[in-house]
Amino acid sequence: MLVKDNLNVLNQKIEKACLKSGRATEDVSIIGVTKYVSIQRAKEAIDAGVQHLGENRDEGFLAKFEEIGSNATWHYIGNLQTRKVKSVINKVDYLHSLDRLSLAKEIDKRANAPVLCFVQVNVSGEESKQGIAPEHIIEFIKELAHFPNIKVVGLMTMAPYSSDEVLLRTIFRKLRVLRDEIKNLNLDYAPCQELSMGMSNDFELAIEEGATYIRIGTSLVGNKEEE
């Protein structure tokens, strides 16, 4: 399938979810997750009009960044090892996986300018998931005041792979409530207006619950090289 055709279908579904929940489509941005696919396929996404690209590994990100550079807005969506910070942090536009103070400290040290970060929250409590536990999030945000190169633009979560709508909505809603709580603290370094949530299998629910960035791989660019 052409990315262009997938994008049309995706945009129609986004529009429907926005209409259903009284939201404006401009308030929802698509991040095309290209981690499974080639540089060529990522370029096809850019040509189709996808502005934001997401990668979750340093090698994959750097390879694509080298070819595509500032033609995309770059989102680093995967777990970032502290020792990898140096090689990527001044190239990404957004980091979606800030989940520990040691990482904040290293970013603060290596970044040439404030980095726009989403704090990753483990709302579902699954052991396999990265992220700060919801009950520790306020405390974590307050600690970030010590790092002038960290700017918290929002919260990010990954929901479990599930078709249970009630469960998914509950998770997305919890992230929104936490986002509002942090936003209402009115911290200069944590405007926290954005919600990064929703993937190929659950983005419609995420939009209905307030997502401002959805991260779409499989249903936009596919999940294997040959697609």
Ligand X SMILES: *Cc1c(COP(=O)(O)O)cnc(C)c1O
Residues that bind ligand X (CB under 6 A): 33, 35, 56, 77-78, 158, 199-201, 215-218, 223
Instruction: State the minimum distance, in angstroms, from the CB of residue 55 to ligand X.
Output: 9
Longest distance between any two alpha carbons in the chain, whole Å: 47
Of 33 and 190, nearer to ligand X (C-beta) is 33
Instruction: State the minimum distance, in angstroms, from the CB of residue 216 to ligand X.
Output: 5
Of 34 and 113, nearer to ligand X (C-beta) is 34
Of 78 and 210, nearer to ligand X (C-beta) is 78
Instruction: State the minimum distance, in angstroms, from the CB of residue 183 to ligand X.
Output: 22
**Cα R_g (the chain), whole angstroms:** 17
Of 73 and 218, nearer to ligand X (C-beta) is 218
Instruction: State the minimum distance, in angstroms, from the CB of residue 151 to ligand X.
Output: 20
Beta strands in the chain (DSSP E): 29-33, 52-55, 73-76, 94-98, 115-120, 150-156, 194-196, 213-216
| C-alpha pair distances (Å), 80 with each of 49, 103, 112, 213, 221 | 28, 8, 18, 19, 23
Query: Nearest-CA neighbor of 78 among 131, 142, 147?
Result: 131
